[in-house]
A and B are shown apart, each in its own frame.
Chain A
């Protein structure tokens, strides 16, 4: 996909996020929207995956360690064809395969259940380790929230990954700067994030705009070239990106838009989509 196609795809995914969370009357739009370009790039460019064969042995793996942003991942998987987009409004409904947090048994394309923060990265490390044992070529990607890295387990996992030189592992930190209780720097600052990962023997790449596909491509391309150590890509993002009233507002971490807000959000995204079509 070229950049414009990726941008259009991301915009469609944003619409799906808003639609599913609105339908669920609950969920986490803020961190789903901040990571939309990352999701899009991984599933439409970076990863070796096949929606028709979601469990193929040599596929790249993805673990959504910040599992509460499942709406973003679900919207991406549906957009990529792992399951019908019609399933998305069933998010968080009884009987739906789209659980509030990812459940690997139910949803096609999910490599791990997650949602309890700090645990997904450990599972990703285990997948990368198994790949090394088997001399397999697959790569493992995991997306963490910047609030999530307050969990000690993140650093236990990072210590092990650095120690074992897991260069098939890419840890992405979605640095949108906000967590439920407010600004991460005010709640319990995890900064400097890059220096912390460096200290744990990671190759670190800072991306100053998580919504710029050129910059994401450069970062993921660089990560592929790194041998002998895992890579951490820290992407500076805007929480709630794409919906004006959700942007940089911690209040939209875990709240669904009401009907009126939904209409405004969708109108904004429709307009953004039209603008992309005219490019």
Chain B
């Protein structure tokens, strides 16, 4: 696996913004003193007149973007997930969500794979927060191909979108030549009959690795990539649950309020099914190398495999 191409989805975000800048003059980009880290600096370099640094003032940045959107701009606002979804939650809710303005929130450094910065900067709650806002689309791409496609789709969509990106370089699992992204449509990556593993973000790769190991044990696992947590592809989730009778969710996010919760909400009403929620188990993260943290929190391929195996 060492020859697998790895790209951090924050880099994909920067690249996609740069391409969007050429395609659509209405696209403008805001950051809050993190342009180097969020990769909006890539856009800034090409289109300095359409890039605005708001300084370290995320709440204000959300409001400015909302105001610009009323004039017809397509603002992408960026910060770390902790500050975009966390600190600025109420501004996103009232100035962008309630108004249903055409603002795209590009939140990077989500989850524990932030690594060494530790718990204050590792946001495991953003999907939960953003998902509660009526009309907010929540997208968590799994790799470079999907992330770039998601940014383009978000720009083409009219309304608020929350995009979640990571700091860590992760394997590219999708084939750019054939990949098609559609907001709200899950992707079945592997067929199986014993259990369905529904994953999002960098955990999609972990799920695929786990499925491979389970296969060696004679367990056939279906793997679904849910890149859009809201609106959730309920049809696909319900059909898979009925087909395999057991569901596992995997996310680099708290098991409270994220993908696991979203899947359970749907299944409890439409197709009651036993569900194992793999994710950050109601705890804060900690400092350490990202890959080691994913291992420790059992979100890597082996960790997912062991938990699924133990549960079945």
Contact = CB atoms under 8 A, between A and B. Distances in A.
Interface stretch (B6-14, B62-70, B113-121, B256-264): B62-70
Contacts of B68: 126-127, 129-130, 133
A181 interface: no
Q: Which of B49, B63, B65, B66 lies at the interface centre, i.e. has the most chain A CB atoms within 10 A of its CB?
A: B63
A130 B73 contact: yes
A105 interface: yes
Interface stretch (B95-103, B275-283, B286-294): B95-103
Interface stretch (B53-61, B195-203, B216-224, B239-247): B53-61
Given A122-B64, A122-B91, A123-B64, A130 B71 contact: yes
B28 interface: yes
Nearest to B67: A126
Nearest to B66: A123
Interface string A179-201: 00000000000000000000000
A130 B67 contact: yes
A165 interface: no
A129 B64 contact: yes
A188 B115 CA distance: 40
A134 B50 CA distance: 11
A126 B65 contact: yes
A160 interface: yes
A131 B54 CA distance: 17
B90 A129 contact: no
Contacts of B72: 130
Given A124-B67, A157-B64, A133 B50 contact: yes
Q: Which of B49, B65, B71, B94 lies at the interface centre, i.e. has the most chain A CB atoms within 10 A of its CB?
A: B71
Q: Which of B61, B64, B70, B75 lies at the interface centre, i.e. has the most chain A CB atoms within 10 A of its CB?
A: B64
Contacts of A153: 57, 59-60, 63, 91
B54 A160 contact: yes
Given A125-B63, A153-B63, A160 B55 contact: yes
Interface in B78-129: 90-91, 94-95, 98-100
A116 interface: yes
B73 A123 contact: no
A137 to B, nearest CB: 13
Nearest to B72: A130
Interface in B14-33: 28
Interface residues of B, number: 30
Interface residues of A, number: 32
A127 B70 CA distance: 7
A122 B95 contact: yes
Given A116-B90, A119-B95, A156-B59, A131 B64 contact: no
A122 B99 contact: no
Main secondary structure of the interface of B (DSSP, over half): helix
B297 interface: no
A166 B71 CA distance: 16
Main secondary structure of the interface of A (DSSP, over half): helix
Contacts of A167: none
B181 interface: no
Contacts of B67: 63, 112, 122-130
B73 A156 contact: no
Nearest to B95: A119
A215 to B, nearest CB: 29
A113 interface: yes
Nearest to B75: A126
A153 B72 CA distance: 24
Contacts of A159: 55, 57
A125 B54 CA distance: 11
Q: Which of B55, B60, B71 lies at the interface centre, i.e. has the most chain A CB atoms within 10 A of its CB?
A: B60
A229 B70 CA distance: 22
B70 A112 contact: yes
Interface string A97-121: 0000001110000011101101111
Given A134-B71, A160-B54, A126 B66 contact: yes
Contact of B64 (A103, A115, A125): A125
A116 to B, nearest CB: 5
Given A105-B99, A111-B70, A130-B73, A160 B94 contact: no
16 contacts: A63-B67, A113-B98, A119-B59, A122-B64, A122-B66, A123-B70, A125-B60, A126-B63, A126-B64, A126-B69, A127-B70, A129-B52, A129-B67, A133-B50, A153-B57, A164-B52
Given A113-B95, A130-B71, 8 more contacts: A103-B98, A105-B100, A113-B94, A119-B63, A120-B63, A125-B63, A126-B71, A156-B59
